[in-house]
A and B are shown apart, each in its own frame.
Chain A
Amino acid sequence: MARVSLPTAVSLQRTVAVARKELLHILRDPMTLFFSLFIPIMEMFMLGYAIDTNVRHVRTVVLDQAKTQQSRILLESFVNSEDFRIVREVQTPWELSQAIVAGEARVGIQVPEDYSRRLDANQTAQILVLVDGTESSIAAAAVNISNAIALRESLKQLMAQRLSETLPVEARPRILFNPDTRSANFFIPGLLVVMCQMMAVMLTANAIVREKENGTLEQLFMTPVRAGELMLGKLAPYLVLTFVEFCVITFLMRTAFQVPIHGRFLTLSLIMLPFVLTMLGLGLYISTRASTRDASMQMSMGTVIPSIFLSGYVFPIDSMPPFFYFVAHFVPTTWMIDAARGVILRGAGWAELQTHALVLWGMACGVLLASMLKFRKRLT
């Protein structure tokens, strides 16, 4: 009886043969292995320590022309906030602005000579705060904080007049989930996702292009191996490698950066699976399209960069213009970063991650199917 094999039937033996060969390629090329595992880790250390968007200890110069007790109390309140650090006292307004121009300080505070006089006379006393606008995040923070300090000083004055000790209203914001608002806690889960994405895409983007360039694909096409077997066999070793990378980065996140994982590691790993598959599939898709390794590298960078900016990794998606907010939802990274932050920072579990899992599995199946269909055993 004739054995009819469906065109979609996958032979385990052939798939294993491909996977084993692919693994040998990885092992035979220790440089690539080294760079693909350690570069992301180095990047993590560089970015993880450098990215601190919390504004603290901003270098500040002061010009106290009043030299009264009130002016000193005011300046102390700036220092006490821990937001400012006084690096120098200057004597003239020119020195004050010069210190900022020279980059010695980001903020200059000038308390005019008539500060106490005007306060005592119940007039508006002005202080001048010069802010270096070149670093927008510092500038914004400095303006907000100095406004807040001025407001509090004003209120204190008013209270003193009304002979009341307590402020009428006080907002006490309490930040949930990331109590000390460490930016590492916010950034590193995103970094984890982006690093795994880069690794998965870059590695597989080479997998088929390399065979095209070396002419080995032509030989392979002459064998009974099927597109699906070739794809699966090539995915398997890179899936393992990306998971190793994922575990290493997670471990470093926990130990070196002290980011606590509030949820379960298993949950995180499981939600990571469809995401990594999506990215491996994307890499394979690129690999089937590109005809040279350079082209595939460019194409994979072309997918990584938009997902860095559109995924909420750098810019929160809630503050994006509606169009980009809409587009962001089609980027797998957006879902994965949200899920990773959910598990790591908020302790989210399966109940909260159902949508994420559904979307990511959908994307994984879509991308893998597309690259399998795109892959024809034909030369172009």
Chain B
Amino acid sequence: MSSPAQAANGEPVINVRDAVIRFGPVVAVDGVSLHVRRGEVFGLLGPNGSGKTTLIRGLCGLVELTQGTVRVLGYDVQRDAERIRANIGYMSQKFSLYEDLTSQENLDFYTGIYGLTVQQGRDRQAQLIEQTGLAPYLDRRAGRLSGGWKQRLALACALLHEPQLVFLDEPTAGIDPVARRDLWDLLFRLAALGITLFVTTHYMDEAERCARVGYIYLGKLLAQGTPAELKHLPGVNIPGTRWLEIFCTDSAELLERLRARPGVRQATIFGQSVHALVDADRSNAALGLEGLEVRQGEPTLEDVFVTLSRAQQKE
């Protein structure tokens, strides 16, 4: 099946303009515009309740747009939601397969729902079982799978119909680091096949791996771009300031100390280090950092998001 998006006219796979989604008085998505290109892994970040899930639902036509336009795979979501759905995969934030059915039965159900022929279904299932390594768990009830395997099963079900675009809402929430890495490896293999991925996450390391990242805060998309672009945003790199990465043994104590100093605009703990945004005219000595390992840093993505959120709060 071919869609207008494949017609090499350069139209982004996802194109959102001024989308607003309102639930009564709550504005869950507030004037979001973004675009995602074919084959891209797009990461959407934002604190809890910032509207990530709602935006995804809006992109799939699962909730109605209050304003704005959304085009997905070249179709208008308000008019052609069914066409879009036939060509996208979706993995919701909460595990949403049938827990009382086995993995195989869940796969069979979605094979039927997506209208695959018996032969197509068999081939596609074999391929996905191979890719996800689900084979040993096929006869297990989905409810009894561990978190990582649940996510792989959900992904397999979402990929049965060979969608060109897959939405994954916090696919790695609550699974262990190894499973997390495995899942991302799988996602990159999909991206290499030309599948566009739209992923939400709370993990910065995952965000760093995305081709492009968007940051949404209280319904507003505050920034989008490659991780490098975001780190060089003028709003984050204010003239006359510099980012420091300070290593020390007692980072909590250092944080207290730094926050009390004049000239320190912002300080955050990152494990064994403290990231700080300081006025450029203050020397390390003036900040009381003699004897500590200090690196001139560029902001991390987390610095970027914290700074953007603070700036937004002040408005």
Q: Which residues of A contact B (CB under 8 A)?
A: 7, 11, 13-14, 16-18, 20-21, 24-25, 28-29, 214-216, 218-225, 377-379
Contact = CB atoms under 8 A, between A and B. Distances in A.
A25 B98 contact: yes
29 contacts: A7-B82, A16-B112, A17-B108, A17-B109, A18-B112, A20-B109, A21-B105, A24-B100, A25-B98, A28-B100, A28-B101, A29-B100, A214-B98, A215-B95, A216-B97, A216-B98, A218-B92, A218-B96, A219-B96, A219-B97, A219-B157, A220-B113, A223-B85, A223-B114, A224-B85, A224-B86, A224-B114, A377-B81, A378-B63
Query: Which 6 A-B pairs rank lowest in CB-CB distance, beginning with the nearest?
Result: A17-B112, A222-B90, A219-B96, A215-B96, A28-B100, A215-B94
A218 B85 CA distance: 12
Contacts of B90: 219, 222
Contacts of A216: 96-98
B57 A17 contact: no
B110 interface: yes
Interface residues of B, number: 32
Contacts of B97: 216, 219
A215 B53 CA distance: 13
B8 to A, nearest CB: 20
Contact of A13 (B61, B62, B98, B112): B112
Contacts of A378: 61-64
A220 B60 CA distance: 12
B51 to A, nearest CB: 14
A223 B60 contact: no
B254 to A, nearest CB: 44
A222 B84 CA distance: 9
Given A20-B112, A24-B105, A223-B114, A218 B62 contact: yes
Contacts of A220: 113
A223 B92 contact: no
B99 interface: yes
Given A21-B105, A215-B94, A215-B96, A222 B112 contact: no
B64 A223 contact: no
Contact of A379 (B63, B82, B94): B63
Contacts of B61: 378
B115 interface: yes
B88 interface: yes
Interface in B48-80: 57, 60-64
Most buried by A among B96, B97, B101: B96
Contacts of A379: 57, 62-63
Interface-centre pick from A13, A14, A28, A223 (highest chain B CB count, 10 A): A223
A20 B112 CA distance: 10
Nearest to B90: A222
A24 B100 CA distance: 8
A25 B109 CA distance: 12
Contacts of A221: 62, 85
A215 B113 contact: no
A13 B101 contact: no
A215 B100 contact: no
Contact of B82 (A17, A214, A224): A224
Contact of A225 (B64, B111, B113): B113
Name the residue among A11, A28, A222, A223 with the largest chain B CB count within 10 angstroms.
A222
A200 B60 CA distance: 34
Contacts of A21: 98, 101, 105, 109
Contact of A223 (B63, B99, B105, B113): B113
A1 B206 CA distance: 44
B110 A223 contact: yes
Interface string B100-122: 11000100111111110000000
Nearest to A16: B112
A215 B108 CA distance: 19
B72 to A, nearest CB: 12
A3 B114 CA distance: 17
B280 to A, nearest CB: 49
A87 B101 CA distance: 63
A24 B113 CA distance: 15
A11 B114 CA distance: 11
Given A222-B62, A379-B57, A214 B96 contact: yes
Contacts of B115: 11, 13-14, 224
